Each structure stands twice: as C-alpha cells, then as structure tokens.
Structure 1
Amino acid sequence: MAQLSTSVCLLTGLLGLLLIVPVLMAQTPASMCTPLKTLNDSLSHRRRYMKHNFPINYTIRVHQKEIFKLSNIRRMRLNVEGTDDLILQRLWFQVNQGVLKKIIRVLPERHPSRSYTAELERRFKDAEGVFVQSHPSEVFQQELPETIQDIWDQLTEETDMVLESSWRFVFPKSLLDNLCHTMYCLFSECFSSKDAQQDYCGISHWRKGRKKDLQPES
C-alpha cells in the first residue's frame, strides 16, 4: 500500500513537471501582446515628455541594477546558467516598476510630464497583470539562478540600506529607452514584422537611424 502511495506521488509530481516545462519553453503568450503594444504606444511619446519637458542634462538617481540594457540581457543569457526568457521577463518587470516609481517621485503634481508618467505606469501594471495571469502560479515559485536572485534582492532592498556606491544618476529618457528596447527584445513575438524578423536584441538594430520608437504591427 505504501509502495502504491509513493508511486502515485511520484506520478503526480512528474505530471506537474510536464505541465510546467512547456510553459517555461513557450513563446510569449498571445494575450501579452495587446497590453505591451498599448504600453509601446505611450513609450512612443517619451522624447517629448522625458527630454523636452526637463531641464538640459537633468538626471534622477536610480539603483545601478535598474539600468537594464540589451547588453545586460546578452551577458545573462551567455553567462548565467539556468536563465531563460521567462526569468528575464520577470526581472524586466521587477526592474522597470522601480524605474517608473522613481521618475514619478521626482515630478511635482503640476509638472507637464506627471500625468504622462502616471499613465505609463498604469499601462505597465496592466501588462504585468496579464503576464502573471498568463502563467501557472508554480512558475513564479521556481527558484531563480543565484545571480538573478542577487539582482532581485538588491532591487527590493530598503532604500536606506543601499550602499551609496550602488546609486547612479541617469537621464529619464535613457531609462525609458532601456525599458522600450529591452521590451522589444524579451517580447519580440509581439513586435516582429510580418515581412522580416528583426533582431531587437542586437544593439546595432537600434543604431540604424531607428532610435525613434518602433510601432508594432497592427
């Protein structure tokens, strides 16, 4: 009887693993594309609201781990064992929710970019909500690779506990450029052209006179 019980438990665990593995290997769920494209619509106005409405050379203070670029994604894919796109997508949401909060925090109530940034944050949260709903809860309980977990821990550390050397001063538009470029890279299925595949993860792609925001295919 004990053997039967053990066999049932093993079989149940195996079935659960088989259900999770395809999710981890799957491409971006189709349900993610609508909120991400809506977010991208807002990001297309970032030059006006994050550059023209700020003093020249204005910067804000962010954690060094919140400067999340295409080069960071490339290094983690190459050097961090166990890293897949789903883990990087989770990290992308964690990083950029902090970035948006910090931008809003420095904007006075009547600043011309305040309402824009608040709307951008709402759309970002909508996309995050769909992201969570698109995957079984077990996925978010999986242990992260040590390097990713370390970044996660630093991002969620209390502000007064962060070492002074960990802070950086960055242009607001640069932060939103990073958010946009890495979004295209990690959720490329939502933005791929019908005519040709684009290497949105390649830095050279964004240097070919296409630094202005790309519009997703309708």
Structure 2
Amino acid sequence: MIQSPISLFLLGGLLALYLMAPVLMASTPASMCTPLKTLNDSLSHRRRYMKHNFPINYSIRVYHEEIFKLSNISRMRLKVDGLDDLVLQRLWFQVNQGVLKKIIRVMPERHPSRSYTAEVERRFRDAEGVFVQSHPAEVFQQELPETVQDIWDQLTEESDRVLESNWRFASPKSLVDNLCHTMYCLFSECFSSTEAQQDYCGVPHSKRGKKTSNPKAEMEPVE
C-alpha cells in the first residue's frame, strides 16, 4: 500500500515526538550533569573535612529552613499538587548557598577545612550558573507555590530580623550530607546507574546501612 505524502509527514512527526519524549520529560538539563558530578567529587571527601576537623558535637546556627532533608522534599510534594521539580531545584540552590556561606563564615582563615569548603562552595556556584543558563529567564520570574514562597521568604530574611524560635543548630557534616542527599534526589538523571534505577528520594544509604553488617556505611558519591 502506497502512503500519501501527508501520511508520511504525520508519521515522521509522531516518530520525532516519540524520540524526543525522554528529553522533554527530563527535569534536569544534560548540561547540568558535568558541574554536578564535579561537585559530587568534592563532596566525597566531606567526612574528613566536615567531621574529623571539627570538635566532637560541634554545631553552627542556621535558619530552620536550611536544614533541608529528603523528608522536606517528600512533604512538599505531598502538600503541593503537581509540584514541579524545577521549583524544588531552585529552592535547593537557594537553601544551600546560605548553608555553605554560614559554614565558611565560622572558620578561621587557617582552619584545615576552610580551603576545602571554599572549593565546594565554588563548585556549587559553578553548578548554579549552569542551572540559570540552562533555562529561559522567564522561568525564574514565575510565581512560586505559596508553600515554597514562604520557605523562600524565610531564607532571604535578614538574620537580625529572624525570630529566635526560627534558629536551629546543626553540625557542618549533617548540613553537607543534606546537600548531597537532596542533590541526588532532585537531579537524579545525572546520577542514575545504567545497571539499576536507585530511589535517591527514599531513605538515604547511610540509614539503610545501619541495618547491614557494615555499621559505618555512609552514602557514597555516585559514579
């Protein structure tokens, strides 16, 4: 049966849409993966620099909203219908730029972890720059859902205007762990293994590891 030119054109269009579907559905631009994997390489050394170089039980003061865990992402997804991953990615950058600045701020110039943290912060900013360039400017002008906007407003509040009840204390290691775990969740396309699809938005590997024979298991950087 000979198909008409119109039929062939429509068939070609449908095939093109089918091939493009994975690209259109991906929430993370491919250009983001290189800077995020570079950041991930630095984060692989966080135990040494964020734990061993600090006194036992050392903690710093941060906004309540800066303790940003996988559970926060889960709650927002349940609370806000159709919450776009792009909105959560924007929030992730806003949260963690403040976290890294606060960690650096408490370190003396000669602190053994200062240069490492500055490197992490620099690589984080590089990833943020690519993130902004990878989306049209209009994306960042869109209104945020009310739940997310409330968090954003708290994060951008001047510290001297923040209520005492909104401050929390957390260790540098736990804050950087949160940065790492939520990065895997929100940018999972960059870290998904070809062998098996992992649920990076579920229970962190470090918690799963407590039930295994290795009590010191910690979520390792993804190759």
TM-score range, shorter chain: 0.7 to 0.9
Matched residue type, 1:37: K
TM-score when normalising by structure 1: 0.86
TM-score when normalising by structure 2: 0.84
Distance 2:42 2:145 in 1: 33
In structure 2, the partner of 1:184 is 184
Matched residue type, 2:220: L
In structure 1, the partner of 2:14 is none
Matched, 1:101 2:94: no
In structure 1, the partner of 2:122 is 122
- In structure 2, the CA distance between the partners of 1:43 and 1:211, relative to structure 1 (3 Å rule), is farther
Q: Aligned to 2:221, which of 202, 206, 215?
A: 215
Please list, as runs of the form range in 1=range in 2, the aligned pairs for 1:55-134 lying within 5 A after superposition: 55-134=55-134
Gaps of 5+ in 2: 1-22, 210-215
Distance 1:138 1:211 in 2: 43
Matched residue type, 1:163: L
- State the shift of 1:84 in Å: 1.1
Matched residue type, 1:182: T
For the 8 Å contact 1:44–1:213, the answer to whether it is kept is: no
Deviation digits for residues 110-157 of structure 1, max 9, x if unmatched?
000000000100000000000000000111111000111111011000
- State the shift of 1:25 in Å: 5.4
Distance 2:43 2:206 in 1: 15
RMSD: 1.8
- In structure 2, the CA distance between the partners of 1:157 and 1:211, relative to structure 1 (3 Å rule), is farther
State the percentage of identical aligned residues. Answer: 82
- State the shift of 1:205 in Å: 4.1
**SS of structure 1 residue aligned to 2:41:** helix
For the 8 Å contact 2:62–2:99, the answer to whether it is kept is: yes
Deviation digits for residues 170-207 of structure 1, max 9, x if unmatched?
01100000000000000000001110000000015442
**SS of structure 1 residue aligned to 2:61:** strand
- In structure 2, the CA distance between the partners of 1:149 and 1:82, relative to structure 1 (3 Å rule), is farther
For the 8 Å contact 1:44–1:212, the answer to whether it is kept is: no
In structure 1, the partner of 2:167 is 167
For the 8 Å contact 1:43–1:213, the answer to whether it is kept is: no
In structure 2, the partner of 1:157 is 157
Distance 1:34 1:125 in 2: 13
Once the two structures are overlaid, the 10-residue window that deviates more, 89-98 or 74-83, is 74-83
Size of the aligned set, in residue pairs, is 196
Matched residue type, 2:102: K
**SS of structure 2 residue aligned to 1:203:** coil
Deviation digits for residues 62-118 of structure 1, max 9, x if unmatched?
000000000000000011235210000000000000000000000000000000000
**Which of 1 and 2 has greater Rg?**
2
**SS of structure 2 residue aligned to 1:28:** coil
